[in-house]
């Protein structure tokens, strides 16, 4: 593929992305204008009212906190319940971008010089330990296959 053709393909892809972004922006602008044009039902009514907090009772397991109070509000005739801290955390931690950031932070931590040196030292120790274990196993196998063992008593068999 020639350089000119690659540039043409890249330009075409960039143009398609730009057109898609423009379409999304126009749709968002139209929705914002439609929301701005819509007014509350009547001017005399309060826009927001806060109801009494409701105690949420759920079965507690080991190590769990006390149940939290939910804040319930009525805004323009809609009941809005503020999510609890646990609900916000569980919803945000399942997002792919958050998971990718967690993995990236772990890789960045592993590539820092102090972590890198520690990891290399652990790998070096593990490699040497496995090498020693293989050598011990090889010596044991060689002793087992190379005939009868020498007589007990140390070096008595050498000169006799």
* The predicted structure's pLDDT at residue 136: 95
The reported pTM is 0.30
5-14, 32-41, 104-113, 137-146: least confident range? 32-41
CA 141, 142, 148, 150 dihedral sign is negative
Q: Please check the confidence at residue 26 and state whether its pLDDT lies above 50.
A: yes
Span 107-127, pLDDT tens digits: 898 888 888 888 889 999 999
> What is the 3-class SS of the chain, one letter each residue?
CCHHHHHHHHHHHHHHHHHHHHHHHHHHHHHHHHHHHCCCCCCCCCCEEECCCEECCCCCCCCCCCCCEECEEEECCEEEECCCHHHHHHHHHCCHHHHHHHHHHHHHHHHCHHHHHHHHHHHHHHHHHHHHHHHHHHHHHHHHHCCCCCCCCCCCCCCC
137-152 residue pLDDT tens: 999 988 888 766 666 6
Whether residue 128 has pLDDT greater than 90: yes
pLDDT tens-digit series, residues 43-99? 445 555 555 555 555 555 666 665 556 677 788 888 888 888 888 888 777 778 888
Question: Which segment of 9-23, 57-71, 127-141 scores lowest on mean pLDDT?
Answer: 57-71
**Greater model confidence, 132 or 22:** 132
CA gap 31, 153 in Å, rounded: 97
Q: How far is CA 90 from CA 18, 58, 66, 82, in A?
A: 34, 17, 17, 15
């Amino acid at each position: 593929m020639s350089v000119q053709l690659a540039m043409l393909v890249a330009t075409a892809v960039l143009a398609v992305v730009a057109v898609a972004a423009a379409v999304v922006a126009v749709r968002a602008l139209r929705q914002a204008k439609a929301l701005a044009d819509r007014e509350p039902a009547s001017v005399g009514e309060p826009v927001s009212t806060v109801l009494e907090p409701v105690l949420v009772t759920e079965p507690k397991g080991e190590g769990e906190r006390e149940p939290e109070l939910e804040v319930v509000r009525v805004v323009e005739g809609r009941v809005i319940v503020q999510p609890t801290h646990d609900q916000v955390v569980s919803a945000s931690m399942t997002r792919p971008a958050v998971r990718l950031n967690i993995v990236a932070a772990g890789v960045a931590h592993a590539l820092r010089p102090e972590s890198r040196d520690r990891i290399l030292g652990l790998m070096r120790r593990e490699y040497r330990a496995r090498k020693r274990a293989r050598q011990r196993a090889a010596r044991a196998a060689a002793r087992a296959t190379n005939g009868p063992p020498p007589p007990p008593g140390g070096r008595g068999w050498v000169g006799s």
